[in-house]
Structure 1
Amino acid sequence: MTKESRTAVGFEEGRTGGAKWFNDLTRSRFAGPVTPHHRVLSRSVSPETLAVHAGTYEDPVTGAVGTPVFQTSTFLLDDASYAAFSDGTSRDVPIYTRYGNPSQWSVQEKIAALEGSRSALVTSSGMSAIASTIYALTNAGSHIISAYDAYGGTYNLLREDMPSAGREVTFVDPTDLDAIEAAVRPETQLLFFETLTNPLLKAPSIRRIARIAKEANALLVVDNTFLSPVNMRPLDLGADVVVHSATKYLGGHSDLTAGAVVGRRKFLDRIWAQALRFGGTLEPLTAFLLERGLKTLPLRMRAQNDNARAIARHLAGHPRIAAVHHPEIGGARYADLERADYAGYGGMVSFEVRGGDEAALDFMKKLSIPYVATSLGGVESLVSMPSNTSHSSLTARQRAQIGINPGLVRFSAGIENAQDLIRDLDNALGTPDEDAPAEKTPDEKTPAEDASDEKGMS
């Protein structure tokens, strides 16, 4: 890259923008970061077109139609680099890959475009994105509100790490708006919720929670991993920042680990600085794989939406299934669902196998198409039990409070043929066994489970 093109990246705008820090959040800065060689499209373009073209680095030397891998740890220093150091705009100039790399900037621009935002950040994992965001947007003495059935890694961060960092956390049912509003305090700085919860697919009203956050003068951070920007754009509903485990739907092929944060530049700069201190840099080859995976995101999500919907409908009438958790099935849990805010519900469906955990384990062993594995969002279907994977650290009483009953299975639908998946599910479930022992109810506990309940729930 020439000195002239580097100067055009945007650091000059940062120098003259009347920078003020987080108390005012009025700092003027170029969108991105991007270079003049990154393709920037209007956010009004369709998701399919944005997924293919937004952020592509159009190499001026080779004319390559795909973004090259900038597999380098450092870049030549020049006047633009020195000015960026002195003016605090080093996020906008290629200096050192931990600070920023054109490979990262390509995928960041694509994700920002898909979420309808001006800036994004990619990190080494979903948890690095979440941790960097929460630490960056709160300080000691502050208060955070979140869901007690958030993703296990998020819950553990909030419950175990935040108190020692001087932040208090209140956990609520994410669908209980009265409880969320009642939890607000004068020192509340952040509300953190998911578009669909893991594993029961509760659907909080992001639009209404955003109003509560605004009235409280607090920020709303939304984890959009389960839906992706194809199915929902939380920023359009009032959220301030969106996070993703890009390992899941954004990457889509179970071959990378990454995280993403999206929002206004004034928030992203602060989160970027926190990510630098945590060391959560996404290396260039993974950025390349993530950008490549994103090109097919709308196509994959369409197939996964359809497959999960078909599976949920089929299992809702199956005699071996006690309950199905999916917005398509409806029920009291989704009575107030603002369906206009969703373009689809993602590829996840959870269901309870009659007979409890032992029956569910036996069912999973009999499946021939899905892989029995953790994670989700890949082109291949995956199946697991939250009780012995993502939520294994919770006690029996905690799982029951959330609604994780014995026999709960989480199914991540891939892009296979829906009828093949349904046929495989039917074969693995078999026919009801009238002589099977009655399943244990959530209130019945073994002595060991009862003793472990002393740890309680925040």
Structure 2
Amino acid sequence: MSVIDHLVAGPEVRGVVADDQRLTGDDTGAMAIEEAPRPSMTRLLHPHVEQRPGGVPVTTPVYQTSTYELPRTPEAAHIASAVAPSGYYTRYGSPNNAEAEAMLAGLDGAERALLLGSGMAAVSAALLSNVRAGARVVAQTNHYTAALTLLRDVLPSFGVDVALVPQESLQDAVDDSVDVVYAETPVNPAMVLTDLAAVRSAAPRALLVVDNTFATPYNTRPLDLGADLVVQSATKYLNGHSDVTAGVVTGRAELIDRAWETARVLGPTCHPFEAWLLARGLRTFPLRMARHNASGHAVAEALAAHPRVAAVHYPGLPTHPQHDLARRQMSGFGGMLAFTVESPEAALSVLQHTTLARNAVSLGGTETLITHPASLIFAHGGTADTVDAALLRVSVGLEEPEDIIADLTQALDHR
């Protein structure tokens, strides 16, 4: 036998037995090869796990499953037809979602909450579930950039009449002919406020939807001021650790059920692990927000005193043009602020020279973030030219406020 023949020959020729074969002998002493029993796929798919003594987990485990075995009774049909069942199919809901939703509804003082895969999923579900062709929507000219695209481009393509009006006079632009009013307060990035009670009074028949991401329910409770639905990016302060993308809609049960039906069709699922992380973050939410409020105010005051800062946009400062409204509507002023320097070039210089504050979008995490909205946040949707290029936005984190102030000060002082 040649070397090549030996190399390519089967295991019985080479004297090597393959893993799934075994040698057996007959009464003449000759050796034969039999196939060994293969592992059962059925047993692999349905392992028997012995129940062992133990307690109940203190923290809800992650239900990392896409589907659930249902009982072989009429109860299965009841589960399948329910709104947001927590044990049917994960696009419909999950035990982890249900836990986070209960916490979120409690924060907002709402009957029910719907957890979705992003803040824009929440905005989209809230609006799309309540408009039809011919409906009239009034919203602000200032909104989160993707929400503006939805209002300005997407809804009109469905035959919805959308009017965008100045934020400060939103209450003057609504009346009983309006079907939906969409507001955001404070707005990104200039920290302008909407008088929610005044809007509610001016349009008592309209459905009032409020984006409360910047204020959070710790500082503003829109449902108490007349809102019907509240939307928030749970990615931000609600989770608070920059490791989750999620959104939430809260409000009356029948409105949340309607939003769930829309989300069931569009499919913006918040998966169990993200819901679990969100519930973990919510457990420290009040503690974190107290720190964000205190540090945000300290940083705003320090920036206002700096000679290279032209203006600070923070509703907690007496110099804010809507400070009186902020004091009526908000119980705290948060960790979000913006400030304007003398030129776009000066803004970019500050951005380049911070060392503690990180150049990143999003907000509400433990770390301080700084960003240039005109070039980084409003790059999509054709709205960059509406944002002052000399403005910088800061999400004040949980570091020592003196360290945050020192970092921003040295960046401002850099020549």
User: What TM-score bracket applies, with the shorter chain setting the length?
Assistant: 0.7 to 0.9
Contact 1:81 1:90 in 2 (8 A): no
1:16-415 correspondence runs (5 A) = 62-78=55-71, 79-85=74-80, 88-92=81-85, 94-181=87-174, 184=175, 186=177, 188-214=178-204, 217-331=205-319, 333-334=321-322, 336-354=324-342, 356-393=343-380, 398-399=385-386, 404-415=387-398
Aligned-partner Cα distance in 1 for 2:78–2:351: 58
| Residue 293 of structure 1: how far off its partner (Å) | 0.6
Describe the shift of the 1:178–1:297 C-alpha distance in structure 2 as closer, same or farther (beyond 3 A). closer
Aligned-partner Cα distance in 2 for 1:265–1:296: 26
| Residue 198 of structure 1: how far off its partner (Å) | 0.4
Describe the shift of the 1:74–1:323 C-alpha distance in structure 2 as closer, same or farther (beyond 3 A). same
CA RMSD of aligned residues (A): 1.9
Contact 1:117 1:262 in 2 (8 A): yes
Aligned-partner Cα distance in 2 for 1:394–1:84: 41
| Residue 351 of structure 1: how far off its partner (Å) | 0.3
| Residue 91 of structure 1: how far off its partner (Å) | 2.4
SS in 2 for 1:225: coil
Deviations along 1:112-163, whole A, 9 cap, x unmatched? 0111112101101111111111000111110111111100010011111011
Describe the shift of the 1:286–1:142 C-alpha distance in structure 2 as closer, same or farther (beyond 3 A). same
| Residue 396 of structure 1: how far off its partner (Å) | 8.0
SS in 2 for 1:91: coil
Deviations along 1:236-289, whole A, 9 cap, x unmatched? 111000001111111111111000010111000000010111110110001000
| Residue 185 of structure 1: how far off its partner (Å) | 6.4
SS in 2 for 1:329: coil
> Who is 1:430 aligned against?
413
> Which of 1 and 2 has greater Rg?
2
SS in 1 for 2:325: coil
Deviations along 1:386-445, whole A, 9 cap, x unmatched? 10012234668951xxxx3231000000011001111111111117x7xxxxxxxxxxxx
Aligned-partner Cα distance in 2 for 1:243–1:191: 13
| Residue 196 of structure 1: how far off its partner (Å) | 0.5
Counterpart code for 1:381: T
Contact 2:369 2:396 in 1 (8 A): yes
Contact 2:139 2:170 in 1 (8 A): no
Contact 2:372 2:389 in 1 (8 A): no
Aligned-partner Cα distance in 2 for 1:122–1:332: 34
Q: TM-score, normalised by structure 2?
A: 0.83
Q: TM-score, normalised by structure 1?
A: 0.76
Aligned-partner Cα distance in 1 for 2:180–2:123: 13
Contact 2:179 2:207 in 1 (8 A): yes
Deviations along 1:35-64, whole A, 9 cap, x unmatched? xxxxxxxxxxxxxxxxxxxxxxxxx97411
Counterpart code for 2:66: S
> Who is 1:419 aligned against?
402
Contact 2:113 2:249 in 1 (8 A): yes
Aligned-partner Cα distance in 1 for 2:186–2:247: 17
- Give structure 1 stretches of 5+ with no counterpart: 1-59, 434-458
> Who is 1:7 aligned against?
none
Aligned-partner Cα distance in 2 for 1:198–1:136: 24
| Residue 90 of structure 1: how far off its partner (Å) | 4.2
Describe the shift of the 1:395–1:106 C-alpha distance in structure 2 as closer, same or farther (beyond 3 A). closer
Aligned-partner Cα distance in 2 for 1:139–1:416: 47
Contact 1:244 1:259 in 2 (8 A): yes
Deviations along 1:349-405, whole A, 9 cap, x unmatched? 100111x22211111111110110111110100000110012234668951xxxx32
Describe the shift of the 1:332–1:348 C-alpha distance in structure 2 as closer, same or farther (beyond 3 A). closer
Aligned-partner Cα distance in 2 for 1:196–1:411: 14
Deviations along 1:165-213, whole A, 9 cap, x unmatched? 11111111122145433xx462x21111112000000111111112223
Aligned-partner Cα distance in 2 for 1:63–1:365: 51
Aligned-partner Cα distance in 2 for 1:302–1:384: 23
